[in-house]
Amino acid sequence: MWTDIYNTEGRPDWSHILPYYDDNIFFKDTVQEIHGKEEFQAMTKRLTDRSKDLKMKVSHALEDGNLIVLEWEMTLSFKKYPNSSIFGLSRVTLNENRMIIEQRDYYDLWGDIFDNIPRFNKHYRKFMKKKFG
C-alpha cells in the first residue's frame, strides 16, 4: 500500500493509506515530529505538493506482532533539481485494532539529496568525513 501512491489524475496521493492510521498517530522523522492524523495528513500533502514526481519502492518488510519494519527507497523530483533518491527505514507500531499508532522514519535526508547535486556532492561528503568520519 505504500508503493501505490498515485491518484487517478497522476499526482502523488497517500489518501488510500490514511484509513490505516489511528487518529492519535505519532510520527517522527529527521525533519519533524507530528501528533494526530490531521497533522499527519497535512504533512503528506506538503510532501506531494512540493514534488513534481514521487515514487516509493519497498524492498523489505518484516512483521513481528504489532511491529512492522519497512526498508524503502523514495525517489523525489523537485521542481528545480534532478531526481533524488532517499533510502530509509520505517518502524511502524500497530495498536490493538491493527491501526498504525506510531511511525518512526530513519533516513539521511541531506546526504541523499546532496549526493545528487553535481560538484556540491563531493564537498559535502568531504566535510562530513572530516567532521564526523
Alpha helices in the chain (DSSP H): 37-50, 109-114, 120-132
25-44 pLDDT, tens per residue? 999 998 899 999 999 999 98
Nearest alpha-carbon partner for 90 in 9, 29, 22: 29
What ranges do the domains of the chain cover?
Answer: 18-132
The H or E element that residue 89 is part of is strand 84-94
pLDDT tier for residue 48 given thresholds of 50, 70 and 90: confident
Q: Average pLDDT of 68-90?
A: 84
Residue 78 CA to residue 94 CA, distance in Å, equals 32
What is the reported pLDDT for 60? 94
Pick the CATH number of 18-132 from 3.10.450.50, 3.40.50.720, 3.50.30.50, 3.30.70.270: 3.10.450.50
Which residue has better confidence, 2 or 64? 64
What is the reported pLDDT for 70? 95
80-93 pLDDT, tens per residue? 666 778 899 999 99
Evaluate whether 14 touches 37 at the Cβ level (below 8 Å). Answer: no
pLDDT tier for residue 99 given thresholds of 50, 70 and 90: very high
